[in-house]
Amino acid sequence: MTTTHHLTRRHWVAGTAALALPSAVLAQATQAINPVAKSALVGPLAPNPAEFRKLMEQFTGGKPAQAEGLQLDVPVLADNPSAVPVKVKVTLPITEQDWCEEIIVLAELNPSPLTCRMQFTAAAGTAEAAVRIRLSQSQTVHALARMKSGKVLLAKQATTVAASGCGM
């Protein structure tokens, strides 16, 4: 038991010393890392605007999105960034000729912007859902809905998070 305690303390001390390196030393160490490894250290938690634009383009098919007909409810201040409540509802009439086929929720500044994808059929009678998403930082949340007629609906709302959620 004494050995275990001693090892635990030594690991703690070693871990603490590593955090105390001067920023100049850390900068030199980062520059010495090859570019692939460097991007792996920085990239996984960084925003991915190219992926966000790609998902928007794929979903809309290049068509302009309509700002009316989709309701998005996201708290203005999210105290738990690991579980931010999001409600999405299509407010247009759902008929046998035109219904919501799919809704996606995108977090613009998340490393992986697609947070949720839901598909519907005409038999659903409504297109609404409530989910919880993870946000990496304060940002705008976008919801898009594609109707059977090809019409694309868009709603977005800014939210402020209390702390980082994706790095946890």
pLDDT digits (tens, 9 = 90+) for 11-56: 333 333 334 444 444 444 444 444 444 444 455 679 999 999 999 9
Domain with CATH 2.60.40.2470 in the chain: 49-161
- 154 phi, psi to nearest 5 deg: -135, 135
- At 71-105, the pLDDT tens digits run 999 999 999 999 999 999 999 999 989 999 999 99
Q: What is the CATH number of domain 49-161?
A: 2.60.40.2470
Who's near 82: CB < 8 A, 6+ residues apart? 134, 165, 168
